[in-house]
Amino acid sequence: MIIVKIGGSKGIDDAPLLDDISQLIKSGKEVLLVHGGSEETNQVAEALGHPPKFVTSVSGFESRFTDRKTLEIFTMVYCGRRNKSLVEGLQQRGINAVGLSGADGRVFEGPIKTSVKVIEDGKKKMLRGDNTGKVTKVNTELLDVLRSAGYMPVLCPPAISEEESKMMNVDGDRAAAMLAAAYGAEALVILSNVPGLLKNIDDGVDNPDNLVAEIELSSCADPYEFAKGRMKKKIMGAVEAVDSGVERVVLASANVDKPISSALNGGGTHIYRAAASAAASNAG
Amino acid sequence: MIIVKIGGSKGIDDAPLLDDISQLIKSGKEVLLVHGGSEETNQVAEALGHPPKFVTSVSGFESRFTDRKTLEIFTMVYCGRRNKSLVEGLQQRGINAVGLSGADGRVFEGPIKTSVKVIEDGKKKMLRGDNTGKVTKVNTELLDVLRSAGYMPVLCPPAISEEESKMMNVDGDRAAAMLAAAYGAEALVILSNVPGLLKNIDDGVDNPDNLVAEIELSSCADPYEFAKGRMKKKIMGAVEAVDSGVERVVLASANVDKPISSALNGGGTHIYRAAASAAASNAG
């Protein structure tokens, strides 16, 4: 099983990804797709007069403050606009896709946090009215029911809270990591608008020496060494996935021909536990 | 099987419907839900600077002119905002709902029309760039796969075109009618913000004599006699459903306690083929 996460940042073209997925599936590979939609959520939120608010937690991670109105806009873009566009693109390529949010059939479930401790202007502050959470449970049973009937699930946040059954914003990369862990996937490929983890984000993406080609977690003192902003969560998801049995995580660009195949063949930043398992995975 | 369609007009409260559905399902009834989202689509389209355009076809039916941008806004509201809100509401009532558009797994499929002959200012005119269609095929196989695994599908437009696999706007009432026909449902209950078909729409909804209590199609010269505007399509869907084997169609208010049970027990406007079959259905 290969889990692919396609981001929702500016300038991502879905066509190469959809071409690649449909070819991989037709050649017998098992692929599940998770997607984001952050950039368009920002745009729609602005247009609807409810601009996005990003906060930095005391532990240094940036996230979207998700009040109920923001959550509603979030579902519009993630579950509506983006999910159905990907489903349509796959249907046009002969793949019988079915789009599901984490709330549908409780695909992504976990605890909700309704307040978040943030740092604003250097001060610690508690913000209430948040609807964010963490995926701790993946309903692979529903996904397998669909897969065995010939359908390909296309998944996205929001998730659903385990006690109150409230929709909640969850990080898409980490949801994809939990999905990959649930399947013990051979790979989790996280595609975005950058070619992988960069040593110096100001140095641009065209210098190949600027790309971290691999992080071998067993010998790496600090996997977060080069991670800034959003990239911190991607690395966190990658570490969680590898620690939960996923053979390798690849951070790579969505905007190349055959982005998944290219990532699996060595492109982007490869994250894995130890060199031996990586070699085995390459050979496989 | 009971098919319920909940409209998307102004002033519809989903809570009584969701309470009623969950009780019916827990008492062993089979229920499928189809929903609309027209009013909120109008609001979001206005806010996003792409106001809705309604046209009247040469045959006198009003519909939304659906260019690609409108279709994208349509998916945001129908598949995102409204669908996930209903899924969440059912999950909170212990029903394991799964929201699907007609494009997901090709649930609603049929031919697309990319141009529409309309009457504007008394003149006939051809409008191009439309994305509307008609549901001629319902993928009950996917719905049954989900149902037999314990999930309740919650469905909405858009549908998908049979040749090009393009998303297309379809009338929700008529999609629900096709679904009811596909299951040979005992009833199709179409809930909206009015108590049924009114003889005189200017006479208000509080006068019970103003409500058409039943239309027995076998003895009715013109079922469209009192239908104006949007109601024409509801009657068309009802006639199609009854002609395709659905025992009865009920047009009723969503804004009453137990709206489905109340409609099945005689509320609203009942449409059926002949009195005998209606009595049989009442007895059952």
| Residues 6+ away with beta carbon under 8 Å from A5 | A33, A34, A35, A36, A172, A173, A176, A188, A189, A190, A191
Lowest mean pLDDT of A17-26, A177-186, B234-243, name the range: B234-243
pLDDT at site B263 = 97
Contact A158, A36 (CB under 8 A): no
Residue A177, pLDDT above cutoff 50: yes
- List, as ranges, residues 111-170 from B with C-beta within 8 Å of A: 141-142, 145-146, 149, 151, 158, 160, 164-167
Q: Which of A243, A255, A230 is nearest to A171 (CA)?
A: A230
Q: Which of B204, B205, B211, B197 is nearest to B251 (CA)?
A: B197
In this predicted model, what pLDDT tens digit does every residue of A6-21 receive, in sequence order?
998 888 999 999 999 9
Q: What residue segments make up the domains of chain A, in order of their start? A: 2-283
pTM assigned to the model: 0.94
Residue A274, pLDDT above cutoff 80: yes
Angle between the B83-92 and B15-26 helix axes, to the nearest 10 degrees? 50
Extract the tokens encoding A201: 């984000």
pLDDT at site B276 = 60
Nearest to A103 among B84, B151, B164 (CB): B84
Q: At A284, is the pLDDT very low, low, confident or very high (cuts 50, 70, 90)?
A: very low
Ordered mean pLDDT values, 10 residues apiece, chain B (284 residues)? 94 94 96 96 96 89 91 98 98 98 98 92 92 97 98 98 97 96 97 91 80 92 85 89 95 96 96 70 46
Residues of A in contact with B72 (CB under 8 A): 81, 85
**CATH tag, B2-283:** 3.40.1160.10
Query: How many angstroms separate the CA atoms of B107 and A261, rounded?
Result: 31
Helix, strand, coil percent content, chain B, rounded in steps of 5: 40, 30, 35
Query: How many angstroms separate the CA atoms of B76 and B37, rounded?
Result: 10
Nearest to B105 among A88, A98, A105 (CB): A98
Q: What is the dihedral of CA B231, B234, B238, B241, to 10 degrees?
A: 160
| Residues 6+ away with beta carbon under 8 Å from B44 | A48, A76, B73, B76, B77, B81
A91 CB near a chain B CB, below 8 Å? Answer: yes
Residue A279, pLDDT above cutoff 70: no
